[in-house]
Amino acid sequence: MASNTSDLPNPYGEDASFGQTTETALTRRVRIRDSQRVLWTRITSIRWSGWTRTTISAAAILATALFASGWGEEYLLVGVSLFAIQTILFFPALLASSFAKMSARDRLQLKIGNNRSMEAYPGVERILNTLHERTLRERTRTLCAALAAGALNSVDNFETGTVLTSILYGLALFLGAISLINTLQLERRIPMIDTDFPLLSMHAPTLHESTLDRVLSDLVVAHLDPETAGAWDDWVMGLENKVRSNQTPESAVEHLLRVLHLNHLGLLDNERLISESKRVFRVAAIDDLNNEESKFCYRTLRRLMAHTRAWQPGLFRLIDRLEDAALRGHSSLIENSWRLDLDLPPRCSQGQGDLFVMVHNHSGKPSQVEVDIIAADGEPHHQTLRLNPPVSRQPKKPAKIGEEGNDIVDVLGRLIDNCLVLWIGLAWPQGSTGSKPVQVNLREQNGGTLSSFVVQTTLSSGFNPEGATEKMLDAAAAVRRIAISVAE
């Protein structure tokens, strides 16, 4: 007897529900983990809580040192209480760190539903290793505080001889010192405290293009963490039908970032910022930019610009000098056929620095040029780049704010879009210190020199306020300042 196989259930068919429950459960578990991260992070970052944890850690060591010297042994219970309070105060921070590590792994490594896995993006391993190391430090300081409390409690409640008492005091001091050292390290920054971009403060740029095409867009993307970079790509692709007919999503976003920077400098007010946005975006995109709940709106884009500005002030200094030269009608801009400008941090840590070079071709014809970069004792000592800068329309007079046909927004936009910007990493041998000159020459194809600059930077092997770690802290602080100012 023939049977109709089409009536049989197919667990792998298009309409089957097999496996959906597992996916839903996984999604729910990820959401619960992240909600726990948010809860414990908020508790950990309550105002003055970091100062309290550090102060009690120091007070516990001081009290133990006094007891060990033979003074005030009748108050041993105070020392036990201090270490016990430490343990209690460290516990929320331990939970926040543990859930942060799990949440970051979920965000970067798991592929849930339609979400993309970010595991292959540069910087993922560094973020996960940073959170793993923090969790280990949290466990260490919590365990040390608990064991120190136990050591002092043993002295207080048991008959111990002189030798054992000295050992227990020494053990409590040692454990308390380890706890304090870890506390000083951990309280400098609490990770994933930002609700908009939780992983941003832990990302350090590693790979980037030497030539910046869309100058501000490329720079901002280079400083985004993998999760935010993926969301940025999705946002830009989603603007395909939300930009004006004479724009592409990339050019519209670049224009928006430029006017945001001019707004930051105070050259454009908020009303002009919105009107400039309407020049390149349609109504749907403007609504999204004004929507505070959007991933990328005016508020969050300001925060990303502040983050990038703190990481790479050099390029923004170049743009600011270009804007100033356009407003003043400087001879280097309106008279010379070629314009060369560069920026190098005055101090470079760990033998590394970022050099930005900006070249304008106002000769009126396409030309190939050579950019020579000579770094004293550098690795390499000499670099030569053969490039074809685009032809840029030379301003004839100083730009004005709001002047039709000569507005600073349009003039600066043309100058940035039609220039060559290089982002070159410089390096010196490990252990090098002192002042190092860097020379940049702009040469014609036949060898003639068009322009030349020499700048100095100071190499520092120790603490440097412009080092990578400090830049991460400064970037996080800049983002928080923007968030507070917007909220007010």
In a domain, 387, yes or no: yes
In a domain, 15, yes or no: no
Domain boundary among 193, 227, 247: 193
Using CA atoms in the order 223, 226, 231, 233, what is the torsion angle rounded to 10 degrees? 70
Are 163 and 208 found together in one domain?
Answer: no
**Predicted local confidence at residue 350, as pLDDT:** 77
Are 287 and 399 found together in one domain?
Answer: yes
**Predicted local confidence at residue 9, as pLDDT:** 53
**Predicted local confidence at residue 107, as pLDDT:** 80
Are 187 and 262 found together in one domain?
Answer: no
Number of domains in the chain: 2
Are 323 and 465 found together in one domain?
Answer: yes
Domain boundary among 147, 163, 193: 193
Could you tell me the CATH number of the domain that includes residue 445? 2.60.40.3880
User: CB neighbours of 7 closer than 8 A, spacing ≥ 6?
Assistant: none
**Predicted local confidence at residue 433, as pLDDT:** 82
Are 157 and 211 found together in one domain?
Answer: no
In a domain, 278, yes or no: yes
In a domain, 275, yes or no: yes
In a domain, 305, yes or no: yes
Are 239 and 354 found together in one domain?
Answer: yes
Are 287 and 260 found together in one domain?
Answer: yes
In a domain, 420, yes or no: yes
Are 188 and 291 found together in one domain?
Answer: no
pLDDT string in tens for the chain (488-residue length)? 444 544 555 544 445 444 444 446 767 878 888 899 999 999 999 989 999 999 999 999 999 999 888 787 778 889 899 999 999 999 999 999 999 999 888 888 665 555 566 666 677 888 889 999 999 999 999 999 999 999 999 988 887 778 888 899 999 999 999 999 999 999 988 888 888 888 888 887 777 888 999 999 999 999 998 888 888 999 999 999 999 998 999 999 999 999 999 999 999 999 999 999 999 999 999 999 999 889 999 999 999 999 999 889 999 999 999 999 999 999 889 888 999 999 998 888 778 889 999 999 998 899 999 999 999 888 888 999 999 999 998 998 999 988 888 899 999 999 999 999 999 999 898 878 888 899 999 998 888 899 999 999 988 765 444 555 555 555 555 555 554 454 44
Domain boundary among 163, 193, 223: 193
In a domain, 14, yes or no: no
Are 289 and 384 found together in one domain?
Answer: yes
Are 429 and 303 found together in one domain?
Answer: yes
Could you tell me the CATH number of the domain that includes residue 42? 1.20.120
Q: Which domain holds residue 298?
A: 202-487
In a domain, 244, yes or no: yes
Are 171 and 253 found together in one domain?
Answer: no
pTM of the model: 0.81
> Distance (Å, rounded) from C-alpha 48 to C-alpha 45?
8
**Predicted local confidence at residue 243, as pLDDT:** 94
Q: Which residue has the tokens 């343990």?
A: 87
Are 434 and 292 found together in one domain?
Answer: yes
